[in-house]
Amino acid sequence: MKATPLVALALSLMPVAALVQAPIAQAQLFVSSPIQAIAPNTETLYLNTNVTVEQTLQVGAATNLNGRSIPAGAIVRGRFEPAKGGVRYVATAVEVGNQVYAVNATSELLRDIKDPRETNTGAILTDAGIGAAGGAAVGGILTGRVSVGSILGGAAAGAIIGNTTAQRVVVLEPNQTLTLTSQ
C-alpha cells in the first residue's frame, strides 16, 4: 500500500522534472546606440596627423551600450589615432561612477586641413615679409641694387611657399561632438 502513494507522487512530479530538464531557448539582445561624446577642451586643439594623442571625452547625451545605460557626463577613455586623411578617436573604455567598462568604438574620420595658424592673414603677411626680404637680398647680390620688382617677387614667392608648405592638422573645437560607433 505504501508503494501506491509513492508511485502517485513520482507520476505527479515527473512532468515538473521533465520541464526542468527541457532545454529553454534564450536570446539576449544587445542594442548599442552611438555615443555622442564631447571634447571638454576650453581651447581649440590642433592634432598632428602622425601622432597618437591620449584624450578623455565626456558622454554628451545618455545612451545604451551593450545593454548598459550610460549617463550623460560619463567619461570616455581613448585616443586620437592617425588615419588616412586625418585622425579617428578610438574609445577603449567608458567610466560610469566607479565602474569602468571596456568598449571598442571609433569616431568618423576627422579630416585634416592646412593648419589655420599658418594660413591666416598674419602668417601669410609674415611669409610675404620674409620673401620680400629674401627677394631684396637676392636682387642686391645679383644686380648690385634693390629693385621694387625683386621685393614684390620675393613677397609673392614667400606668401605662396608659406601657404603651400603649411602643415596639415585636424582642428578640434571646444565642446565639439564626436559620434562614436561600437565596433
| 38 Cβ contact list (under 8 Å, min separation 6) | 57, 58, 59, 60, 175, 176, 177, 178
CB 55 within 8 A of CB 39: yes
Length of the chain: 183
Tens digits of per-residue pLDDT, 35-54?
A: 899 998 889 999 999 999 99
List the chain residues with pLDDT less than 70.
1-32, 118-166
Global pTM?
0.59
Quick one: pLDDT at residue 56? 95
